[in-house]
């Protein structure tokens, strides 16, 4: 959840500084969750929510920050760029802004005996969400001014108590907070963010020739023939690279590694796949599955499948059980059937 929340800000062009506040003893867990997200600052939290937020605000104060500050619960991991943009827009005319949804259920008060006593008008009632956005000077002053002795439930309350205007923008049901155990099953199914799944396809062919090395899925395979190509001609990694780029709508392998460029002559194709995965990550995507089928009469792929699976997983920085390696022949038909070359087809699945 922490990584999902941070990635939403990390991928948005409006943010230059991201601070994660963690409890004592949780730095290693935070570092593991945030691996690969450059520039994220970790600050120690406090005994209450207000203390933790204030520690981050003080860090920004010390560094003379003067922009906008967004305060978000990592327990609301499905944050969309739409909400961020609405909040940024609201800050052009307000000291602060919060996403909120109207209360749609009937509301009533009850007594100690468990009986209803009166109906509450829900017309002006809202469910407040995060992130809550403020001009930094506003939320810094609000935290310094809070001296009621009470524990504030959110930062908007503190800003209002200090006399600042906080606007309401339209919230998002996907921003529901994870609080109870069954929230995980329900929210993972219903969140719109989990429905942004992309699929890309890749295909590559290279000619078999004497005197060449045979590289498949990042492994050198002993064989009397190898594959000809400008790089190491690893058809499987080339197909996977195109599949990842295609899923993220980032062009194809020729756009990024043109064969006319001498720097790629003889290059190891693991660089191509790793670069494609990084480009997809920079665009806010996470690779969740890679599937490649190698089409050839020889060599036999079966004995190498496990090693290939591990190598592709290493290159793509995902778990081996998210990589599928398959092989087939064409029953002696076509160029692969005549052992003139090897082909590969791949599918990549990405989630944003």
Map out the domains of the chain as residue ranges: 2-194, 197-351
| C-alpha Rg value of the chain to the nearest Å | 27
pLDDT value of residue 191: 54
Superfamily of 197-351 according to CATH: 2-C-methyl-D-erythritol 2,4-cyclodiphosphate synthase (3.30.1330.50)
Question: Residue-wise over 151-174: b if at least 16 C-beta within 10 A, else e?
Answer: ebebbbbbbeebebebbbbebbeb
pLDDT value of residue 183: 77
Q: Which two tokens stand for residue 306?
A: 């496990």
pLDDT in 10s for each residue of the chain, 352 residues: 899 899 999 889 899 999 999 998 999 999 999 998 888 999 999 999 999 999 999 999 999 999 999 999 999 998 989 999 999 999 999 999 999 999 988 888 898 888 998 888 888 899 999 999 999 999 999 999 998 778 898 999 999 999 999 999 999 988 888 888 877 766 665 555 455 789 999 999 999 999 899 999 999 999 999 999 888 999 999 999 999 999 999 999 989 888 777 787 878 999 999 999 999 998 888 899 999 999 999 999 999 999 999 999 999 999 999 999 999 999 999 999 999 999 999 999 999 7
Q: Which residues pair with 126 in a beta bridge?
A: 102
Task: Name, in order, each residue with C-beta under 8 angstroms of 74's C-beta and a sequence gap of 6 or more.
Answer: 1, 2, 5, 6, 20
Q: How far apart are the first and last CA of the chain?
A: 13
pLDDT value of residue 193: 47
What is the 3-class SS of 78-143, one letter each residue? Answer: CCCHHHHHHHHHHCCCCCEEEEEEECCCCEEEECCCCCEEEEECCCCCEEECCCEEEEHHHHHHHH
pLDDT value of residue 336: 94
pLDDT value of residue 188: 61
Q: How many other CB atoms sit within 10 Å of the CB of residue 46?
A: 15
pLDDT value of residue 187: 64
- Rounded Cα–Cα distance for residues 297 and 300 (Å): 7
For 2-194, which CATH class? alpha beta
Residue 239: what are its φ and ψ, rounded to 5°? -65, -40
Residue 219: what are its φ and ψ, rounded to 5°? -115, 145
Beta strands 166-170 and 96-102: pairing type?
parallel
Q: Is the dihedral of CA 296, 297, 298, 302 positive or negative?
A: positive
Beta strands 219-221 and 214-216: pairing type?
antiparallel
Do residues 324 and 308 lie in contact, with contact meaning Cβ atoms separated by under 8 Å? no
The pTM of this model reads 0.56
What is the 3-class SS of the chain, one letter each residue? Answer: CHHHHHHHHHCCCCCCCEEEEECCCCHHHHHHHCCCCCCEEEEECCCCHHHHHHHHHHHHHHCCCCCEEEECCCCCCCCCHHHHHHHHHHCCCCCEEEEEEECCCCEEEECCCCCEEEEECCCCCEEECCCEEEEHHHHHHHHHHCCCCCCCCCHHHHHHHCCCCEEEEECCHHHCCCCCHHHHHHHHHHCHHHHCEEEEEEEEEEEEEECCCEEECCEEECCCEEECCCCCCCHHHHHHHHHHHHHCCCCCHHHHCCCCCHHHCCCCCHHHHHHHHHHHHHCCCEEEEEEEEEECCCCCCHHHHHHHHHHHHHHHCCCHHHEEEEEECCCCCHHHHCCCEEEEEEEEEEEC
- Rounded Cα–Cα distance for residues 201 and 27 (Å): 39
- Rounded Cα–Cα distance for residues 332 and 337 (Å): 4
| Cis? peptide before 131, omega within 30° of 0 | yes
Helix axes 235-247, 305-316, angle to 10 degrees: 40
């Amino acid at each position: 959840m922490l990584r999902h929340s941070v990635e939403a800000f990390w991928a948005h062009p409006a943010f230059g500084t991201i601070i994660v506040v963690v409890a004592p003893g949780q730095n290693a867990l935070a570092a593991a969750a945030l691996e690969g997200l450059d520039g994220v600052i970790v600050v120690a939290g406090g005994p209450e929510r207000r203390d933790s937020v204030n520690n981050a605000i003080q860090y920004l104060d010390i560094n003379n920050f003067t922009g906008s500050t967004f305060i978000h619960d990592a327990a609301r991991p499905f944050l969309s760029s739409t909400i961020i943009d609405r909040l940024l827009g609201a800050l052009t005319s307000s000291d602060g802004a919060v996403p909120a949804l109207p209360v749609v259920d009937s509301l009533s008060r009850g007594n100690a005996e468990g009986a209803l006593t009166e109906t509450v008008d829900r017309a002006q009632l809202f469910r407040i969400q995060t992130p809550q956005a403020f001009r930094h000077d506003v939320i810094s002053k609000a935290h310094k001014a809070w001296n009621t002795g009470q524990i504030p439930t959110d930062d908007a309350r503190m800003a209002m108590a200090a006399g600042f205007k906080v606007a309401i923008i339209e919230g998002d049901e996907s921003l529901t907070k994870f609080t109870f155990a069954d929230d995980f099953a329900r929210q993972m199914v219903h969140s719109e963010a989990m429905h942004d799944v992309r699929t890309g396809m890749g295909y590559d062919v290279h000619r078999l020739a004497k005197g060449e090395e045979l590289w498949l899925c990042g492994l050198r395979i002993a064989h009397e023939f190898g594959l000809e190509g400008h790089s190491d001609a690893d058809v499987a990694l080339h197909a996977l690279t195109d599949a990842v780029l295609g899923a993220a709508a980032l062009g194809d392998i020729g756009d990024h590694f043109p064969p006319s460029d001498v720097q790629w002559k003889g290059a190891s194709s693991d660089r191509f796949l790793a670069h494609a995965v990084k480009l997809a990550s920079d665009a806010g995507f996470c690779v969740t599955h890679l599937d490649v089928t190698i089409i050839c009469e020889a060599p036999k792929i079966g004995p190498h499948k496990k090693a290939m699976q591990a190598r592709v997983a290493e290159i793509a920085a995902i778990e081996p059980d998210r990589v599928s390696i398959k092989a087939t022949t064409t029953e002696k038909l076509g160029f692969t059937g005549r052992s003139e070359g090897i082909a590969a087809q791949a599918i990549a699945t990405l989630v944003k």
